[in-house]
Amino acid sequence: MAKIIVREGDSIERALKQFKRLCEKEGLRRSIKRAAYYEKPSEQRRRRKMQMLRERRKAVLRAIRAKNKSKAKAKAKNKAKTKARSTR
């Protein structure tokens, strides 16, 4: 259960914003929506499988981006080195 401590002087809006953020982080809203109707076990498996695929794709894309970023840095570094050598 999401709990927040409201200190004296804090506004209601700020406390509400903190509470919403905490609920979102815990996934309460998503679980409530999911529990609002019956989901067949086969649909649950399918949903979990699709979620796993999305997470894997995300991880692969993140790894590719990191690799490309490091390659670009190395390329820029080498370019700077060759430029420094040619000016000597």
pLDDT tens across 47-63, in order? Answer: 999 999 999 999 999 99
pLDDT > 70? residue 88: no
Q: What is the pLDDT of residue 40?
A: 93
> What is the mean predicted confidence (pLDDT) over 68-72?
86
Instruction: Pull the structure tokens for residue 13.
Output: 């809006």
The reply to whether 67 falls in a domain is: yes
* Beta carbons of 4 and 22 less than 8 angstroms apart: yes
Which residue from 37, 2, 40, 1 is spatially nearest to 21, judged by alpha carbons? Answer: 2
Instruction: Determine contact, residues 34/48, Cβ cutoff 8 Å.
Output: no
Q: Which amino acid is at 52?
A: M
> How many Cα atoms occupy the beta-carbon half-sphere of 79 within 13 Å?
6
Q: How many CB atoms lie within 10 A of CB 75?
A: 10
**Average pLDDT over all residues of the chain:** 87
Q: Which pLDDT does position 87 carry in this prediction?
A: 66
pTM here is 0.52
Q: How many domains does the chain have?
A: 1
User: In terms of residue numbers, what domain contains 32?
Assistant: 12-87
Residue 2 lies in a domain: no
